[in-house]
Structure 1
Amino acid sequence: MKPTNEVIRFSLKNTKLLALLAVLSALAAAGRILFAPLPNIQPVTALVVMLTLLCGVRFGVLFATLTMVVSNIVLGLGIWTFGQVLGYAFIALLTGLFLRPYRQKIPLWMMALFCGLMGFVYGLIQALLIAPIYGFAYFWVYYLAGLSFDTLHATGNIVFYFVLAPIFLPLLTRLLQKYTC
């Protein structure tokens, strides 16, 4: 079953969608914690992209925020949590603006490559947010030093999208049809 062209409107008044958001965020946080020993390899980016495609930017941002805060309770909360939330909010915004209107026409491999690119975008955002702390003179040093981690993040995003999208998108589409009708 492919996602429908129907636009899902996320409302904080819909308790079923809120419960779905909570469960998905908890599962993503668990996945992030499970993959924590592997540097920058986690399912969150692929899930943010998929959820934003189906449910919109607001749902994607809320999902990313909950996932980061809940997983960072275990992995460590700090000033970086704010940067992580901003990074994923930007990814949700890019996905919502540029891909969501065309989600029916974009092939799986192209979406996987987009997820890979978002790994590098996320790394760039983190470097830009940390630059005021270390000084803008060291921005390129910091960014280039993190490129190997961004490459791992991008590779993980591609693999996670290829693995999760064929299972997750039809399942989530059915759940959304059930919860929004």
Structure 2
Amino acid sequence: MSMMVAVSHVGRLIFQFLPNVQPVTAILIILTLSMGMADGLIVAVLSILISNLTLGMGIWTVAQIVSYFIIILITGAVVRPIYQKLPEWTMIMYTAVTGLLYGFVISVIMTYLLGLESFWIYYSFGIPMDIMHALGNGAFYFILSPVLYPLIAKGLKLKKISKRGNENN
């Protein structure tokens, strides 16, 4: 899990020049599908906190954590039981849609600070950023899923072996 936090943090730093294009959401979805909601939530919170220490901490940090919390809950409760039966393009589309959901949740949470009358203005101005997030999510899932799923599976096997007392950590 610490490696996933590090990869998420570095991914946010590397792609900060592209607004809202970052591998974090795709990594969290892959992690949640592979290891479960608890692991996804832990990595999400740590990734956001550590990244925002570098990129800027603010009131949006709570909104980001809540947005990822909702995405991870949906992924773990709805998608995880069926994702192995789904074609790859469906998972790419789902990951892209989570970019739109993320932006919507952020806007809803920020409404408490800006006032209800500002919601639609705030949300509509963020739609281009949400579309960038969605496109980035789909692309990162397409690129990272063939790499991360096997690495996580290998890591889980090593973890199980080491719990039995085998010295092959």
Report the TM-score, using the length of structure 1 for normalisation: 0.87
Q: Which runs of 5+ in 2 are unaligned?
A: 162-169
Match of 1:38 in 2: 18
Quick one: distance in 2 between partners of 1:128 and 1:107? Answer: 32
Q: Does 1:93 align with 2:54?
A: no
State the SS of the aligned residue for 1:161.
Answer: helix
Unaligned runs of 5+ in 1: 1-20
Worse-matched range after superposition: 74-83 or 145-154: 74-83
Contact residue 83 and residue 91 of structure 2 kept, 8 A: no
- Alpha-carbon distance in structure 2 between the residues aligned to 1:176 and 1:108: 22
1:1-181 alignment runs, 5 A limit: 21-181=1-161
Measured in 1, the distance between the counterparts of 2:63 and 2:145 equals: 26
Cα RMSD (Å) of the superposition? 0.8
1:146 alignment partner, SS class: helix
Distance 1:105 1:59 in 2: 22
Q: How far does residue 171 in structure 1 lie from its aligned partner after superposition?
A: 1.5
Per-residue CA deviations over 1:78-120 (Å, capped at 9, x if unaligned) read 1111111111111000000111111211111110100000000
Q: How many residues align?
A: 161
Q: Deviations over 1:12-69 (max 9, x none)?
A: xxxxxxxxx1121012101101111110000000011100001111111111111101
CA distance in structure 2 between the partners assigned to 1:154 and 1:96 by the alignment: 19
Give the conservation status (yes or no) of the 8 Å contact 1:26–1:70. Answer: no
- TM (norm. structure 2) is 0.93
**CA–CA distance in 2 between the matches of 1:142 and 1:83?**
14
